[in-house]
Amino acid sequence: MMARIAYSLLLYLLTPLIWLRLLWRGRKQPEYLRNVGERYGFYGQRADSGENRPILWVHAVSVGETRAAQPLIEALLARWPEHRLLLTGMTPTGRAAGREVYAEACGERLIQAYLPYDYPAAVDRFLRHFSPAFGVLMETEIWPNLLAAAQRRGVPVMLVNARLSARSARGYGKVGALVRPAFAALAGTAAQTAEDAQRLGALGAVAVDVCGNLKFDVVPPADKLALGRDWRQAVGNRPVWLAASTREGEEPLILAAWRKLAVPGALLVLVPRHPQRFAEVAALLQREGVPFRRRSEGLPEAGDAVWLGDSMGELVAYYALADLAFIGGSLLPLGGQNLIEAAACGCPVVIGPHTFNFQRATEDAIAAGAARRVGDVDALALAVDCLLGQKSTGSEASGETELAAMRAASQAFAAAHRGAVGRTLALIARTTGRAAR
């Protein structure tokens, strides 16, 4: 209790910095300055206030978690057809992704809102306003005041698709007095791997089950796959290398590797992870004198060396277009990004040395032959040159090259790890019990 009081006091003291952060982000994304009251637990009059339908609540902090939750949310809504879905997040891009993915399928069953900052009064207002039957937190969203308030109000909250790297576990361990009660307040936990389960249990989580990674159960949208095939037809026979979900500081390294390629006519498709960086990366390409075109300006032309993916929700299409993908966040010590979506699209992957946030999935993909790890920029350039060279010479068509083998291994790897949704749904139903009725 004393640790949580100190934590809450620190949150209140940091309020001016939180506002400055919102204003700073609002400079590039004005959406951050909308619905600000929700971040403090003020939601106004609900349009559905006359309804008595129970609410199931899923929290997905941003775009990746929102899309990863899709098969589970579909299963939850089918399992509890009388419930409405409250989908909370923390970012405007995640909120937009929620509208794109769920609005048509859910219709009036969908309610979207920001989860409030973890002030005691704010989380109380949130729970009082929506009164969810139960809550599902995606991945590693641990908020001490929120979980304490839910426990007091008898709202079961589960952590699903949970992952915890060794580095993050060490960080949580330094504030054990604060986080151990929070983990212990969870009604149940669905971990991705046995290693995740062990680390979560060591931090106080109880009833931890290993259920696998929900992202393996996400089916690439057919319309996005078709869009990627259309792009492929427009690009023609040019070898295509995709640098997906790149993070700050990586684009100059990607360009350095690109300059070392000997493959003639290769097209680099560069897709930054965060939309607020699109203009920044475009400015970098201009400074470097690289001929490029933005996705928002149309399809790449023959004279374009780089196609800048400045669009949201089209990563599947980029994977369908590409002959080979590098997954960002891994050349620098940022922990990497998930390669599962690329594998599901049958796109071979090259990954850098820093993948501690997705260690098991990455290692399994490498072991399956779906991915290749490189240690630095020079090794990245060599790997891309070698693999794309097989495309440019036409030898890939024989099916006997490493690139062709990696493509087949990618799809097999994704298919072999499906089933997490069923296991997670069974755990939720068993854990929430009467509260979900």
Catalytic residue positions, numbered? 65
Using an 8 Å Cβ cutoff, are 149 and 127 in contact? yes
Question: CA-CA distance, 60 to 89, in Å (whole number)?
Answer: 5
Residue 377 vs residues 260, 370, 381, 406, 425: alpha-carbon distances, Å: 10, 20, 6, 21, 42
CB 288 within 8 A of CB 305: no
Q: Are 152 and 186 in contact (CB under 8 A)?
A: no
The whole-angstrom separation of Cα 37 and Cα 40 is: 5
CA distance 135 to 73: 12
Q: Pinpoint the alpha helices (H) of 246-310.
A: 251-259, 278-287
Q: Which among 250, 319, 318, 316 is positioned nearest to 281, based on CA atoms?
A: 250
Determine the Cα–Cα distance for residues 324 and 402; give it in Å rounded to an integer.
11
Tokens of 182: 């929070």
b/e code 228-267 from CB counts within 10 Å (16+ = b): beebbeebeebbbbbbbbbbeebbebbbebbeebebeebb
